[in-house]
Amino acid sequence: MQLAWLRVVLILAFDENARKEEEACETKIHTATITALAFSLIELLNSLLGLTKSKPHQVMLFSLTRTGVEMLLAPLLPCGCIEHIITVSCWALDGIIRFGCFGADALLSIFGYESVPFIKSIRYTIGPMLFPIGAGGEMFMVIKAAKEGRTHLYFAAALWPIFFYPLMKQLLKQRSKHFKKLKEA
């Protein structure tokens, strides 16, 4: 999963052609993002199977929103528009950090070591910073599409903050719980 998101970041950072030319953007950025989102759906499966503490309904809302934005909304806009680039950049950075932390924890566990609190501290600090930027980018993508003659999408944009709130609240709750445990240790 982390490698799929890393691929997105590398394309965004180093392939100017993919950011500026619509066809290149579609074949590179959009395709890499869809691939990374598909791998990220494993997180939903893990929550449904109880392999993580994440609540399945929140993981589903999170995953399906991103997938829906990229598959249904992004094709309505120029691929290289700033709203799309910001959104996908936040998703990719978040994916690299989140799955990188999961991977580092798993690797430590495989070799018989306990989790290093610093790893989770990174995850619980960067995630809440990237999430509002990415969610804002998603909402502005919806607004941009609405401005281009799809006025019914203004309703979807109005709902964005309603669905953002519980997810952000959960992120902050996880962060608070993590740092509280660190203080007690």
Residue 65 has pLDDT above 80, yes or no: yes
CA distances from 89 to 83, 133, 136, 174, 181 (A): 10, 10, 12, 23, 31
The residue to which tokens 């902050």 are assigned: 172
Banded pLDDT at 41 (limits 50, 70, 90): confident
pLDDT over 90 at 116, yes or no: no
Mean confidence (pLDDT) of the chain? 92
CA distances (Å), 173 to each of 84, 166, 176, 179, in order? 28, 10, 5, 10
H or E element in which residue 178 lies = helix 153-184
Q: Is the pLDDT of residue 152 over 90?
A: yes
Q: Is the pLDDT of residue 69 over 90?
A: yes
Least Cα distance to 148 among 93, 83, 53, 51 occurs for: 83
pLDDT score, position 96: 94
Rounded to an integer, what distance in angstroms lies between the CA atom of residue 41 and that of residue 67? 9
Coil vs helix vs strand at 1: coil
CA 8 to chain centre: 12
Is 76's pLDDT higher than 90?
A: yes
Highest averaged pLDDT of the listed ranges 38-47, 48-57, 78-87:
78-87
- Secondary structure element (H or E) that encloses residue 79, with its range: none
H-helix segments, 15-152: 16-20, 22-25, 31-48, 56-68, 82-110, 117-147
